[in-house]
Amino acid sequence: MENSSAKRLDFVRTNEKSDNSHHHYKHHHQIGHKHGEGSAIDYYAYASKIRGWNPSFKVAFSVLTLLLCIVLNNPLVSLAVIVSMAYLTVVKGGLPLGAYLSVLMIPLTFIILGTVAIGIDFSRQPIGQFNLYLGFGYLYTSIAKLKEMVFLMMKVFGAISAMIMMTLSTPSSEIIGVLRKAHVPKLIIELMNLIYRYIFILLDVFNNMRNSADSRQGYCDFKTSCQTFGNVASNMLVLSLKKANAYYTAMEARGYEGDLVFLEDEKPFQISQVIYAVGFMLFLLLLWYVTK
Amino acid sequence: MREPILKVNNLHYSYGTGNPALKGVSVNIYNGEKIAVIGSNGSGKSTFFLNANGVLKADHGEISYQGTVINKKNLKELRKNIGIVFQDADNQIIASTVMAEVGFGPMNLKLPREEVLHRVDEALTYMNILDFKDRPPHYLSGGEKKRVTIADIIAMKSEVIIFDEPTAALDPLNAQMLEDVLVKLGQEGKTMLISTHDVDFAYRWAERAIVFDRGKIIADGTPLEIFKNREILKQANLKRPTMLDVYEMLVEKKMVKNTDAYPTTPKELKILLENNLYYPESSVPMI
Ligand SMILES: Nc1ncnc2c1ncn2[C@@H]1O[C@H](COP(=O)(O)OP(=O)(O)OP(=O)(O)O)[C@@H](O)[C@H]1O
Ligand SMILES: [Mg+2]
């Protein structure tokens, strides 16, 4: 909790003078997850310096980059994507490097665990360029296999960093706005909007309840903790039903008649950005063509 | 006699299975009135407001707005004309940026985009939160959220505005700012109902005070009449405004002349003291 309130403070500063906010951030951020990573990502998106870019552009750009990265299937292209997405997020977006790495940690773990199976295999005979005898069989691999593994890792990593560039610079509400423009059914859009807002309400309620229980010795030993957890959980259910009711009331009071429409900020396309983006795509294609 | 803008007649309401929260409330509200709604916790103020806005449907009794009795068909008109700022800001905020939140009401009124943007800016300026425009409400403090919800309703420009304990979460500076906004809204001719536990605020701001106790209105009159009536204050768990006590003490100790011009703010008291100091004729004033 302490950590998150410190960040809130920084957020205010970021808005006031976005140029030197960089220094404030750094000293208290390390790799790791202090509180719900979900809300941290949301938080970074609002604080990003490239939040002002047109969201449709950002979504289209990152999706195209992701597709190129997968379709071209070229390690150099993957590397270029990884580097340029990190550049966009960290340098252009002003996200501290530590925070960026900490967000990447989760997918990175999965990628490594997932690709190890491709690089390393198991056999009863000592085959392959390298093998390790385990008593009942051999763990073996070869340069070619390792190369394949690393290239796959880079490809997936590139694709993911393109997506992460988008999520770390575009608040969910804006992404939902883009989906709406892309004619995703209205019902889904409305649900997404409400669920998004609701997540924070329930998180808040949960945090408050947990903290207040904690301050009253609700987690002093294992048995009490279990009991408190049960109480908090059942209270959450009742509260979320009540909140839903209160919400509907408040929406009705402001003239809601079945159509949930929000005012969206129009962020103009910048031609220069589009040109850069096209240039980047062409560069990736060229890189692929040359090293094919 | 003027026609009341909002007329509530014998309103009864109970929540689900529980005890009745309103037991026969009748009141006439006239255009441009500034009303303080006071009463102890659980006396039915919020319930009354929600009924007046048409969000809760009364078990019994009727509400008319500008002479038209409200029924299912014209409920929308009622909601359009009566805006309500909820007691709990978290129950009101539904959008994920402050701008979208304040624009929600005007969007529902089907106003053109330009007009919505204009109103949002205006309301945010009123509440001194223009620089929060792009921020998500879930990273705001309690008082900041409260100001957003007040801006929500200002942007709807409804004729009647109901505030359910607006000053509770605000720091002194922002509470003062809210009072300035209330004065501005008053000059625009809005009818306002404010529930509050701050008797000093009710005393200096309101033209009329309505006292709730256990689901009934037990008193309705000018704040002065009500706060001088000790019986009512006792019944409704209220205390007297400081300025009233101070003034009466000054009169009692023969320090000011009793002019019946009751001061409601320290500033008014100062003017009164400058003009009406009580000098016994025979003695020379000592300074
Ligand atoms: N959602 C609800 N469900 C059931 N009972 C309720 C609900 N809200 C209020 N009540 C009950 O209705 C009565 C009137 O409550 P109300 O909220 O109108 O009081 P209030 O005058 O606004 O009080 P406060 O000053 O504390 O805000 C109370 O006895 C309360 O317990
Ligand atoms: Mg209340």
**Which residue, judged by its Cα, is nearest atom 5 of ligand 1?**
B15
> Across residues A244-262, what is the average pLDDT?
84
Check pocket membership of B191 for ligand 1, CB cut-off 6 A.
Answer: no
Q: Closest ligand 1 atom to the C-alpha of B43?
A: 21
A207-230 pLDDT per residue, tens? 888 888 888 888 888 888 888 888
Q: Which range is least confidently modeled, A52-56, A118-122, B162-166?
A: A118-122
Rg of chain B taking only CA atoms, in angstroms: 21
CA torsion through residues A148, A149, A154, A159, sign: positive
Q: What is the dihedral of CA B89, B167, B87, B96, to 10 degrees?
A: -10
B257 sits in the region (left: phi over 0; alpha: psi -120 to 50; else beta) called beta
- Tell me the ipTM for this assembly: 0.73
Q: Which of B116, B138, B152 sits opposite A200 (nearest CB)?
A: B138
Question: Between the CA of residue B201 and those of B181, B198, B216, what are the distances in Å?
Answer: 14, 5, 22
Q: Which one of B12, B22, B23, B41 would you pick to mutate in the ligand 1 pocket, going by the greatest count of ligand atoms within 8 A of its CB?
A: B41
> Across residues B12-40, what is the average pLDDT?
91
A108-124 pLDDT per residue, tens? 888 888 888 888 888 88
> Would you mind telling me the total number of residues written for chain A in this entry?
292
Which residues fall within 8 angstroms of residue B16, CB to CB, at 6 or more apart?
A: none
pLDDT confidence bin for A2, thresholds 50/70/90: very low
pLDDT confidence bin for A250, thresholds 50/70/90: confident
Task: Read off the DSSP letter of residue A50.
Answer: G
- Contact status, residue A253 vs residue B49, Cβ threshold 8 Å: no
Cα gap B243→B129, rounded to integer Å: 32
pLDDT confidence bin for A29, thresholds 50/70/90: very low
Instruction: Determine what percent of chain B is predicted with pLDDT higher than 90.
Output: 45
- Would you call B156 and A254 a contact, using CB atoms and an 8 Å cutoff? yes
Counted across chains A and B, CB pairs separated by less than 8 A come out at 100
> Across residues A265-279, what is the average pLDDT?
89
Residue A39: its pLDDT value, please?
Answer: 66
Cα gap A42→A8, rounded to integer Å: 12
Higher-pLDDT residue of B247, A37:
B247
Cα gap B244→B260, rounded to integer Å: 11
Domain boundaries, given as residue ranges, for chain A: 30-171+266-292, 185-261
Q: B149: distance to nearest CA of chain A, Å?
A: 11
- Contact status, residue A42 vs residue A171, Cβ threshold 8 Å: yes
Amino acid, res. B123: A
Order of strands across the sheet that contains B68-69: B20-29, B6-14, B60-65, B68-69
- Contact status, residue B7 vs residue B64, Cβ threshold 8 Å: yes
* Domain B6-92+155-237 belongs in CATH node 3.40.50.300: yes
B80 touches A: beta carbon within 8 Å: yes
> Across residues B211-240, what is the average pLDDT?
92
Chain B neighbors of A204, CB-CB under 8 A: 90, 138
pLDDT confidence bin for A31, thresholds 50/70/90: very low
B224 touches A: beta carbon within 8 Å: no
Which residues fall within 8 angstroms of residue B211, CB to CB, at 6 or more apart?
A: B38, B39, B217, B218, B219, B220, B226, B232, B236, B238
Beta strands per DSSP E along A34-149: 121-123, 130-133, 138-141
- Contact status, residue B241 vs residue B71, Cβ threshold 8 Å: no
| Identity of the highest mean pLDDT range in A264-278, B24-38, B79-93 | B24-38
Amino acid, res. B54: G
Residue A36: its pLDDT value, please?
Answer: 45
Check pocket membership of B44 for ligand 1, CB cut-off 6 A.
Answer: yes
pLDDT confidence bin for B43, thresholds 50/70/90: very high
> Across residues A28-47, what is the average pLDDT?
63
Task: Read off the DSSP letter of residue B17.
Answer: T
Higher-pLDDT residue of B1, A45:
A45
Give per-residue burial for A122-142: e unless 16+ CB within 10 Å, then b: eeeeeebeebeeeeeebebbe
Residue A12: its pLDDT value, please?
Answer: 39
Q: Does residue A153 have a pLDDT over 60?
A: yes
Domain boundaries, given as residue ranges, for chain B: 6-92+155-237, 241-277
Q: Does residue A25 have a pLDDT over 70?
A: no
Chain A neighbors of B120, CB-CB under 8 A: 263
Chain B neighbors of A13, CB-CB under 8 A: none
Cα gap A48→A31, rounded to integer Å: 18
Amino acid, res. B87: Q
Check pocket membership of B43 for ligand 1, CB cut-off 6 A.
Answer: yes
Mean pLDDT of chain B: 88
Q: A261: distance to nearest CA of chain B, Å?
A: 7
- Contact status, residue A168 vs residue A45, Cβ threshold 8 Å: yes
- Would you call A262 and B104 a contact, using CB atoms and an 8 Å cutoff? yes
B255-273 pLDDT per residue, tens? 777 777 788 888 888 888 8
Q: Closest ligand 1 atom to the C-alpha of B22?
A: 14
Mean pLDDT of chain A: 82
Interfacial residues of A (vs B; Cβ cutoff 8 Å): 8, 11, 15, 42-43, 46, 51, 171-173, 193-194, 196-197, 200-201, 204, 243, 246-247, 249-257, 259, 261-265
Q: Which range is least confidently modeled, A18-22, A70-74, A201-205, B69-73?
A: A18-22
